[in-house]
Structure formats: C-alpha cells, structure tokens
Amino acid sequence: MSRVALLVILVVATAGAALAYGDPTQISKAGAVVSDMLRSQTPPPLRAVEVARGQTGEFGLQAKINGVNAPMVIDTGATSVVLTWETAKAAGLPLELLNYNVEVETAAGHTKAARLTLDRLAVGKLVERSVPALVVPRGQMKTNLLGMSFLDRLESWEVRADKLMLRGYP
C-alpha cells in the first residue's frame, strides 16, 4: 500500500476516533495503531545492480538485449549503447535494413554505425524499453558498450572504489 494511502487512513482514523469517542486517550491510541501500520510497511524492492571492476579496470556485465545474453562494458564516454554486428545478429535485429551513416570514433579508430532502437535492454533488475542504440559493421568492435542512452534513464549511478552501482527508479 502506498504511503499516501496510509497517511489518508491515519487522518481518517484519527478524525473518526475524535468524533466517536471525543476522548484524547482513545484518539492517541488510534493514532498509534495507524502509525505502527505505517512503520511496518516494507519499502518496495530497490531496482539496483552492483558491478565489480574487472582486472582490466573496466566494469563489465552481462545484459540481455531482447532476451538474448550480451556481454557489455559500461562506457560513460559513449553517447549511446553500441553493439557489435555479431551481438545485433544474435539478438535478431534487422541488420539487412540498417543504414550505416553515423560517424563514430571507437578505440580502434573512426567508423560508421547504424541507428536502431532496442525493444528491451535489461541489466539485472533494471529493464528499459525502446533504448536508442548503434550497431557497428562486422569486425569493427570486439565489445558491446553500455553507454549514456541507457545510463541516462537511471535514477543514478556511481563508482565507489571498485564497485559501480546502477540504480533505477522505483
């Protein structure tokens, strides 16, 4: 039950007690009962994922693109999620319809990529739909990048020591 609904119950119960009893002791008891109910409510489960830094210094994780497993490296310097051609093919994306007309700079140098939208991109409990992404031609990259087109949808992300915490909205 939401906190707002419980607050309304508290106000109604207190007002009801005041009208019914007119006794400050009874009003106090009614308020205490409702307050206990509010405190006993468990918060909704956090939508969060913790990623450990790998031996190479990168934060790698296993994502699911349209339900297909895809290893990814978090890259806050990448404007978009970027997929290798091989991952895009495995995820069943329409490679034959892509137009490679977006200039991109990768660790390996300059290339062109194609824009598309991922129906669903999941990282643990964090699931986003209609995520803009790029696909590079076959052999142009070895690693999929989890860039800002995904990270910007999160409530927050932070690095502390060797842990990256990704937090989604409740």
Over residues 84-129, the pLDDT tens digits come to 999 999 999 999 999 999 999 877 788 999 999 999 999 999 999 9
Residue 153 has pLDDT above 70, yes or no: yes
**How far is 73 from 84, CA to CA, in rounded Å?**
12
| pLDDT value of position 132 | 97
Residue 1 has pLDDT above 60, yes or no: no
Neighbours of 170 (CB within 10 A): 9
In sequence order, the 6+-apart residues with CB closer than 8 A to the CB of 83 are 65, 70, 91, 93, 133, 134, 135, 136, 144
Digit-coded pLDDT (tens) for 7-58? 666 566 666 655 566 666 766 776 777 677 666 665 655 789 999 999 999 9
Q: For strand 68-74 and strand 144-146, is the pairing parallel, antiparallel, or unpaired?
A: parallel
**Global pTM exceeds 0.75:** no
Residue 2 has pLDDT above 80, yes or no: no
Beta strand residue intervals within 37-136, DSSP E? 48-52, 60-65, 68-74, 81-83, 100-106, 109-123, 126-135
Tally helices (H) and strands (E) across the chain: 4, 10
**How far is 134 from 150, CA to CA, in rounded Å?**
12
| pLDDT value of position 72 | 98
Q: Which of 2.130.10.10, 2.40.70.10, 3.20.20.140, 3.30.70.580 is the CATH number of 48-167?
A: 2.40.70.10
| pLDDT value of position 32 | 75
